[in-house]
Amino acid sequence: MAGYKSSYFYVVFWQNLKRNRLALAGGCVVALLFVVSLLAPLVAPSDPNAINAWQVLSPPSWQHWFGTDELGRDVFSRVLYGARISLKVGFVAVGIAVSIGTVVGLVSGYYSGVIDTVLMRLVDIMLCFPAFFLILAVITFLEPSIWYIMMVIGLTGWMGVARLVRAETLSIREMDYITAARCIGCSDRRIIFRHILPNAMSPVLVSASLGVAGAILTESALSFLGIGVQPPTPSWGNILTSGKDYIEFAWWLSLFPGLAILVTVLAYNLLGEGIRDALDPRVKH
């Protein structure tokens, strides 16, 4: 019976999601970006760090689709490899944030009382600090590294997930099947992770999808400011940094990485909103 209900849930979810064309478009773009980032060594026409002094700041052409930068490097190849960095940061950072937020939300919502009060006050304190400036402050004291960036973004972005999971847990723990699980002697850990967690994953999925977009924007902003991914490793943010000095006559250096950030963030936002609507029974499909 449980397997049947689970299968029915996924069928209904997929049917609801298919009706949202914008969400499907966002999902297709996300899937395409994922495939392109994995196949970047095969798709990219040249080495993203290969310098060509004879083709400095060349405009877009059949040979260089996105033009070249101030060192003669192919911008198309650098944008493709930059997608790998941005998606890696997005997934790892959100994975850290979702893991911490889910555990905090489950524990806080299930036990309530003093534990709930302490954890929620910790969340309130973290929310008092502007996230981006907190990340800037932490990154300033660390050596610029993609791993530090992913950890810092993840460690400063779990509070929203914690609140969502706590709200779901407060509702689910009053259900009859949770009471039945307690009566037959199930441990708290089993109840939390076997019965409550699977039923509280809906807001986590939505938050994760939207969180990837936020993490990509944050990484791009840090790289643009010069404290994120360091050259010559290509990142959409540091490609934009090199383009700002030549924007008057080399517009392609800013246009194409900017479009990559715009399309990626928009796709994840559309997908996240589509997942939220598909999981919400109150929305008329």
- CATH number assigned to the domain comprising residue 147: 1.10.3720.10
Bond preceding residue 232 cis, omega within 30 of 0: yes
Supply the range of the domain harboring residue 135.
31-39+67-279
Check residue 3 and give its pLDDT.
39
Decide if 48 is inside a domain: no
Is 151 in contact with 135 (CB distance < 8 Å)?
A: no
Cα-based distances in Å from 38 to 31, 87, 238, 262? 11, 10, 21, 20
pLDDT in tens, 121-139: 999 888 887 777 777 777 7
Q: Does residue 74 sit in helix, strand or coil?
A: strand
The reply to whether 50 falls in a domain is: no
Contact assessment for residue 106 and residue 172, using Cβ atoms and an 8 Å cutoff: no
Contact 60, 252 (CB under 8 A): yes
Tell me how many domains the chain contains. 1
Q: Is pLDDT of 216 > 70?
A: yes
Give the pLDDT confidence score for residue 125 in this predicted structure. Answer: 87
CA nearest to 123, candidates 159, 73, 177, 90: 159
**266 assigned to some structural domain:** yes
Structure tokens at 213: 């977009």
Q: What is the model's pLDDT at position 2?
A: 39
Task: Please tell me whether residue 68 adopts helix, strand or coil conformation.
Answer: strand
Does residue 107 sit within a domain? yes
**What is the structure's pLDDT at 5?**
43
* All residues at 6 or more sequence positions from 265 whose CB lies less than 8 Å from its CB, including other chains: 213, 216, 217
pTM check: above 0.85 = no
Q: Name beta bridge partners: 231.
A: none
Smallest Cα–Cα separation from 108: which of 122, 91, 95, 128?
122
Q: What is the pLDDT of residue 1?
A: 37
Query: Would 22 be classed as within a structural domain?
Result: no
Beta bridge partners of 68: 74
